[in-house]
Structure 1
Amino acid sequence: MNIQMMQTTDKTMSSREIAKLADKQHGHVIRDIELLNETLAQESLSIIGESFYTADNGQTYREFLLTKEQTIDLMTGYNRNLRIRINRRWAELEQQIAAPVVALPQDYLSALKALVMSEEAKERANAEIKQLQPKAAALDAISHSKGSTGIRETAKAVGMGQNEFVAWCTNPDKPMSARFMYRDHSGALNAYSHRIDQGFVTQKLSCFIGGDGRDRTAPKVRFTPSGVTQIAKLLQQERSRELEAV
């Protein structure tokens, strides 16, 4: 993947600061961002820009600089308390931006230009709101969820049949980083390790007695509230694209 170098004057939050807020190793946050960049590239969205910083030891290391929207995309895979801490930090960053000075137009042409610019700003704001609505809907879908859910319950929560949901999670046409589960040699469903690391799914061995009376074990996949949120958001994005293509 081609990594873009961050060259912007917009407010950003570094991957180092996110690692500190999330109580995670910076290397693990870098790994999560690289996986997120794969998904963003697949969705034809702007990927997270890479930068470099000089540490106290004089060595230069890489980091990423995230916009507010990219930060929200990343933290969706983390816990609810972290979401609040990062939201508060973004509020502090936004307060650092000085309010623009608006000059009153002195003539008819200036007034007309100001009106046109105002309407354009309103259209941009409406477009941004429309873009954020699917994310808000996805987060609200499980805002009251407690604990993890099984495959059948998760499928129901996101409005899909179980077989359709399994096919979506294991779709071989998607890159591995975009899938959630796979079938092993015996046909049993397993969770991808990177999804477990992201906090979207859990897996443990379930013991049962087989038809032959012998003890058997099989993997049992469950989806966390963060995982259901991520899936709901991805499905909403897919449906929005389908509607736009009609």
Structure 2
Amino acid sequence: MQNVKTMSSREIATLTKKDHSHVIRDIRSMLSQIDDPNMDDTDFKEVFDGRGYTSEINLNKDLTLTLVAGYNSRFRYLVIKRWQELEQQAQASSPVTPALPNFTNPADAAIAWAEEYKAKEAAQAQVTELKPKAEALARISSSKGATGIRDTAKAVGMRQNDFVAWCVDDTKPMSRRFMYRDDRGVLNAYSHRTSAGLMTQKLQSFVGHDGRDRAEPRVKFTPAGVAKIAEMLEKERNKELEPM
């Protein structure tokens, strides 16, 4: 797995002499303006403390430089220099490329050819396996209209109750959750999911058992949201299948 370098909001605050809460505010504003549903934990990751509050947000290089583009020249320079240090550290710690086999030796050449052939076969098998999954995600992403909880659960191959439990699981960081229950137990969408275009939430009016007009939030998942969930579930399932 590729080790993606990130910079924390706390380090950015130190380099730019800004209050950390202001950097967090700037990051949230930037992410809402970018509004890219394809961003995940390799791009940015929100870290929470024991009380559920944001402790810091880690950004990749592109998002870090996008953030400080609005800061003054000296602060941009300091952040860029720090990124250069991080990249140099990554290069220094990267594994050395193994030496090529001695192709003048028939035995070594045969072994190298066999290993290359096996690698190509494995890569082709992986492509064959992932192709229908990719096509399914593409169909979901290109479909029109948002779907409710039941239809979304069906689309990603889960029972509704299991799907809801997965979406609200408070053992996961908030950046990986989709919904939460309010004081009345009603499901609500997290704002970072609606701002990213993965979910919608609207008030729906209805008549209660007492005959009075009432209103409750109704959440739905956009096609991009369904595709994102399917992708996350696939990664989780593949991780479970990895040998210990």
Alignment correspondent of 1:168: 166
CA distance in 2, matches of 1:40, 1:187: 25
Change beyond 3 A, Cα 1:28–1:124: farther
Segments of 5+ residues of structure 1 without an aligned counterpart are 7-23, 42-46, 65-104
Give distance in 2, aligned partners of 1:26 and 1:172.
23
Q: How big is the shift at 1:244?
A: 3.2
TM-score normalized by the length of structure 2: 0.57
| 1:11 equivalent in structure 2 | none
| Matching residue of 2:23 | none
Q: Tell me how large the CA RMSD over aligned residues is.
A: 4.4
Instruction: Report if the CA contact (8 A) 1:152-1:162 is conserved.
Output: yes
Q: What amino acid is aligned across from residue 194 of structure 2 in structure 1?
A: I
Contact 2:147 2:220 in 1 (8 A): yes
Distance 1:138 1:241, change over 3 A: farther
For residues 134 and 238 of structure 1, do their structure 2 counterparts lie closer, same or farther at Cα, with a shift above 3 Å needed? farther
In the alignment, which residue of structure 1 is the partner of 2:240? 242
Aligned to 1:212: 210
Write the letter of the residue equivalent to 1:4: K
Q: How does 1:4-153 map to 2 (within 5 A)?
A: 4=5, 28-29=33-34, 35-37=41-43, 49-50=60-61, 58-59=73-74, 60=76, 108=106, 111-112=109-110, 115-116=113-114, 118-119=116-117, 121-122=119-120, 125-126=123-124, 129=127, 136=134, 139-140=137-138, 142=140, 145-153=143-151
Q: Scaled by the length of structure 1, what TM-score is found?
A: 0.57
Q: 1:201 and 1:34 mapped to 2: Cα distance?
A: 15
Letter in 1 for 2:236: E
Question: Would you say the 8 A contact 1:191–1:203 is kept in 2?
Answer: yes
Rounded to whole Å, the distance in 2 between the matches of 1:118 and 1:48 is 37
Change (3 A) 1:133 1:236: farther
- With over 3 angstroms needed to count, the CA separation of the structure-2 counterparts of 1:172 and 1:40, relative to structure 1, is closer
* Partner residue of 1:191 out of 183, 189, 192: 189
> How many aligned residue pairs are there?
183
State the partner residue of 1:158: 156
Identical amino acids, percent of aligned pairs? 47
Which residues of structure 2 form unaligned runs of 5+? 8-28, 48-57, 84-102
Query: Are 1:134 and 1:236, in contact at CA under 8 Å, matched by a contact in 2?
Result: no
**What amino acid sits opposite 2:189 in the alignment?**
A
Q: CA deviation at 1:119?
A: 3.0
- In structure 2, the CA distance between the partners of 1:106 and 1:40, relative to structure 1 (3 Å rule), is farther
Larger radius of gyration: 2
**Do the aligned residues in 2 keep the contact of 1:207 with 1:215 (CA within 8 Å)?**
yes
- 1:239 shift after superposition: 1.9
Residue 180 of structure 1: which of 178, 181, 184 is its match? 178
> Structure 2: how far apart are the matches of 1:133 and 1:153?
24
Distance (whole Å) between structure 2 residues aligned to residue 34 and residue 159 of structure 1:
22
- 1:138–1:236 contact (8 Å) kept in structure 2: no
The equivalent residue for 2:10 is none
Question: Is contact 2:156-2:230 (8 Å) kept?
Answer: yes
| Superposed CA offset, 1:78-137 (max 9, x none) | xxxxxxxxxxxxxxxxxxxxxxxxxxx677467436525633652673586489559626
Partner of 2:21: none
1:185 Cα offset (Å): 0.6
1:224 to 210, 222, 225: 222
1:201 corresponds, among 199, 202, 217, to 199
For the structure 1 residues 178 and 189, does the alpha-carbon distance in structure 2 shift closer, same or farther, using more than 3 Å as the test? same
